[in-house]
Amino acid sequence: MSVTILKCSRLRSVFRLRTLQHHLMSSQAGSEVLFERVGSAGVITLNRSKALNALNLSMIRHLYPQLKNWEKDSETDLVVIKGAGEKAFCAGGDIRAVTEAGKSGDSLAQDFFREEYILNNTIGTYQKPYVALIDGITMGGGVGLSVHGRFRVATEKTLFAMPETAIGLFPDVGGGYFLPRLQGKLGLFLALTGFRLKGRDVQRAGVATHFVESQKLAALEKDLVNLKSPTFDAVGSMLDTYQKQSSLDRDKPFSLTQHLDAINRLFEASSVEGILENLRRDGSAFAQKQAETLCKMSPTSLKITFRQLQTGAALSLQEVLVMEYRLSQACMVGDRTRPCHHAGHNCSGSSVPLFKFSTYRHTHLFSCHGD
């Protein structure tokens, strides 16, 4: 009898502890990121809707340990991550604060990128099903929170882009890993131009694994967290089912289909200068538009990005993130006189003095491996 009483007492203690942990998960992270256990699933909500759920260091410092805890927890079998509000999953990182910190020598410039990339690698190597519901704007840091996970669910509201070359940076958060692994030269095209993909195009490009209509996400999430055995196969099967039930834009072709051959041919050059020359010589409206776009970007950012993807194609995710950390620190003192502001360069010869380096040189300053 005493053993029974002891067991009951322990069960009550465990229940109280888990109830307390459940409340603490939501409170410890403050209001910016929320954690909840639903059944055997851990649910993450990025909760900065007024800032389009932009990622800051505080959020990163709560996301990483919680993901590690859930990965070790035998009672957590699945993780779902989503954004609050109707506009964005996550529109990126707080780059303005980071670049300002970099100019002043504040450690935030090192801490943010280092801890963000560690988080990206954790997601990329996660041992349990990780489902990102990328409903709305998904750029920069938001891509890092989703694209390396096993399952990425786009909707008709999804807007994907890696626009970093327009602000004097480079497509980080593992961009050097996943972008060169897209079909043909599509990843390089997206990286250099910052071209935006919308809706089903995000899946057709290979950025998302599934497409589900936005209005079905609540039901999908409910079914996911109620799975009795949420194995990778079971989660994938459920996502396949919901995708089959989503008919919106099903017959609409990939918006870049007619340009894929041209992208593969024009972006096959061995340098940024060669790509620009190919675009100028081609003469098509599409090629001219891309040439004009590249001429608005930081020349150094374009060359860094080109080398980043070229090198990253043969590296592991972790190796790419180490490379990108080195690049991020170089970018804090490099070709950025006014980071995160509009930047331009006249490719016809005269440069708009918004960047320290206005021609395609100096890439040796940003060695991918620190040599």
Residue tagged active-site, from 93, 142, 175, 199? 93
The secondary structure of 178-213 as a DSSP string is HGGGSSTTHHHHHHHH---EETHHHHHTTS-SEE--
Residue tagged active-site, from 116, 172, 221, 324? 172
The one-character DSSP state at 250 is T
Angle at 288 between CA 285 and CA 292, to 5 degrees: 135
Residue tagged active-site, from 135, 164, 221, 324? 164
Residue tagged active-site, from 141, 142, 144, 175? 141
141 is annotated as an active-site residue: yes
**What distance in Å separates the CA atoms of residue 295 and residue 261, rounded to the nearest whole number?**
22
Beta strands in the chain (DSSP E): 33-38, 41-46, 78-83, 88-90, 130-134, 137-139, 151-154, 159-161, 197-198, 210-211
Residues 6 or more apart whose CB falls under 8 angstroms from that of 257 comprise none
172 is annotated as an active-site residue: yes
How far does CA 325 lie from the centroid of its chain? Answer: 15
In SS3 terms, 78-124 reads as EEEEEECCCCEEECCECHHHHHHHHHHCCCHHHHHHHHHHHHHHHHH
**What distance in Å separates the CA atoms of residue 237 and residue 346, rounded to the nearest whole number?**
50
Catalytic residues: 93, 141, 164, 172
